[in-house]
Amino acid sequence: MHTGYKEIDHLISGLHSGDLISIVGNSGTGKTTFLVNIAMNIAMEAKQEVAFMSLQHLPDQLGFNFLAVVGNVVIRDIIRGYIRVAEWHKLTKAACELMGSPLIIGCAPFNSVKHLIDEVRKIRQTKQQLKLLIVDSLGMLQLHDRKEYAEGLRLLKQAAMELQLPILLSCTVKTKSFKKDNKTVIRDARYDVIDTYSDTAMMINLKSSDFTVPHSRSKCNKSRSDLERCFVGQAFPGPVVNQ
């Protein structure tokens, strides 16, 4: 199963059952919107069932994000209410498409990784064709130290194998950018744990205009304008190809 991002699919060979794929980055770098784009590519283009479990947004906030992506409308305009007639038609059409898509959205206040996994098991019992689980974001759960963080990641990796699903997970980590050589370095002790339990870890960084995949030490180059379009709520172009 492919994400719809051709360069990323080439690097990681698509999404595979049992894999835990972590999307890391500083706060406000567009991790949620990136995951929403992937969810929409798979649910609406490939017609595969996707569960999107949000731990940091209310249903209305997450709904705005999905509408912005599907309707190709700037999310700031939706929030402010600055919607022109043409955009209103786009949003109406997007809402109808979302209602008919095989997308499951959960925004419950999960208080632990075990609680989250139990809810996903219940979903899997009723949705046998579920193909992907997206969790946004691990940092919102009650993981007080590095040991608890590692245990949470271990449980998610086990769940991916048990449920035979790929799990996409976003994690907020501290990074530092260097203007001189336009590089960004992860400076967070938790990243070692993320790297240990994840099959793939990718860093999203708007300032450097790159998606960096630490495992392969390769770069998936995107222009800054493309990343900004994703950040304001527009999907990257590109067909989704089923494996």
Domains and CATH numbers, the chain: 6-232 (3.40.50.300)
- pLDDT tens for residues 106-142? 887 788 899 899 999 998 888 888 999 999 988 888 7
Q: Residue 198's pLDDT band (boundaries 50, 70, 90)?
A: very high
Which residues are 132's β-sheet partners? Answer: 50
Cβ atoms < 10 Å from Cβ of 138: 23
More confident residue, 183 or 237: 183
Cis geometry, peptide bond prior to residue 137 (ω within 30 degrees of 0): yes
**pLDDT > 60? residue 31:** yes
Average pLDDT rounded to a whole number, residues 52-71: 84
Length of the chain in terms of residues written: 243
Q: Which residues contact 86 (CB under 8 A, 6 or more apart)?
A: none
Q: Residue 199's pLDDT band (boundaries 50, 70, 90)?
A: very high
More confident residue, 182 or 55: 55
**pLDDT > 50? residue 202:** yes
Average pLDDT rounded to a whole number, residues 182-191: 80
Q: Residue 97's pLDDT band (boundaries 50, 70, 90)?
A: confident
Dump the DSSP string for 49-62.
EEEEEESSS-HHHH
**pLDDT > 80? residue 79:** no
Q: Where do we find the tokens 């860093």?
A: 203
**pLDDT for 165:** 94
Contact 202, 216 (CB under 8 A): no
Average pLDDT rounded to a whole number, residues 201-209: 69
**pLDDT for 155:** 95
* Average pLDDT of every residue of the chain: 79
Q: Which residues contact 100 (CB under 8 A, 6 or more apart)?
A: none
Nearest-10 crossing angle of helices 31-40, 59-71: 60
Q: Helix, strand, or coil here: 39?
A: helix
Give the phi and the psi of residue 57 in degrees, each rounded to 5: -130, 145
- Residue type present at position 45: E
Q: Which residues contact 85 (CB under 8 A, 6 or more apart)?
A: none
**pLDDT for 87:** 85
**pLDDT > 60? residue 216:** no
- pLDDT tens for residues 65-76? 888 888 888 877
**pLDDT > 90? residue 35:** yes
**pLDDT for 227:** 36
Across 15-24, 145-154, 174-183, the highest mean pLDDT is recorded for: 15-24
- Residue type present at position 12: I
**pLDDT for 236:** 33
**pLDDT for 68:** 85
Average pLDDT rounded to a whole number, residues 162-191: 84
